[in-house]
A = this chain, B = another copy of it.
Amino acid sequence: MTKDENSRDHIQSLERGFQVLLAFDAERPNPSLAELAAATGLSRPAVRRILITLQSLGYVKGEGGHWSLTPRVLSIGQHYSASHAMIELSQPHLLRLAEQTSESASLAALDGTDVVYIGRVPVRRIMSINIAIGSRVPAYATSMGRVLLAWAPPKHVDEVIDAGLRPLTKNTVTDPEEFRRELRTVRAQGYSIVAGELEEGLLSVSAPVRDQSGTVIAALASSTSSGRATVDELRAEIAPLVVRTADAISADYGHRASGKAISTVHREHEGFF
């Protein structure tokens, strides 16, 4: 039995506050009070109280009966970045990788069944997807997700599979067994290549980034499109570079925290399995 949600330790107003904050959306950029009440299922006075509170905190702004988010909402994420030294450390490595490959470089972490971009150096506009820091994509269909899952506790993998491997393109791996086999391959070879499983024509290579204890905490990726490279080229030329860069980030991170550099050699058989 997991923690009870309706326990006395759950603060209703706080959850409601986030409900309202997250109700702002591409479809609802400037909602009225009534719209927000409808969208969240809360009463109008409740939403109003929340909005006034959020406004006093500087997160929303109301004018002319319509409300909108302020840039301060973006600053919330700074507290995540600031409390995870690896993000700042990885920046020069991301830049270098992007330069060397002339392709976008990304860093991501696992959050539930999604992968969240925590660092990124864009180079070209990749396909139709708008990727920015904080963006979420399903873990199962991306090379970064595969890497993170390959070294994650089995429980996470089960969760992802239970949530469903929906076909996003005709190439998406949707069979649980094939998926688990793929993760074993990733673990064995030390990197992941995914071609067109999230979006047609999108290619990416990804390798694990580790903390001091050797735990995989992030994935580094280089992304391109099928017009600019083939899977074989990625494997031969880009994959080693991505692995080396990921190892360099790990080394920086380990070195910084422990005072003694951790070997940058890829360690094949650590982790949770």
Which residue numbers of A lie inside 8 Å of B, CB to CB?
Answer: 3, 5, 7, 9-18, 21-22, 24-26, 28-30, 48-50, 52-54, 56-58, 68-85, 87-88, 91-92, 95, 108-112, 116-118, 121-125, 130, 132-136
Contact = CB atoms under 8 A, between A and B. Distances in A.
Nearest to A81: B132
Contacts of A57: 15, 18
A132 B121 CA distance: 11
Given A71-B109, A71-B118, A92 B17 contact: no
28 contacts: A7-B52, A10-B49, A11-B50, A12-B13, A13-B13, A13-B14, A13-B17, A14-B14, A14-B16, A14-B17, A14-B54, A21-B79, A29-B84, A30-B83, A58-B112, A68-B83, A69-B80, A71-B116, A73-B79, A74-B81, A74-B133, A74-B134, A76-B77, A76-B134, A78-B134, A81-B134, A91-B122, A133-B134
A58 B122 contact: no
Contacts of A130: 88, 91
B78 A9 contact: no
Given A73-B76, A74-B77, A78-B134, 5 more contacts: A13-B13, A71-B109, A71-B116, A74-B117, A78-B132
A110 B109 CA distance: 30
A17 to B, nearest CB: 4
A73 B22 CA distance: 12
User: 5 nearest interchain CB pairs?
Assistant: A29-B83, A71-B116, A74-B134, A14-B17, A13-B13
Contact of A77 (B14, B49, B73, B84): B73
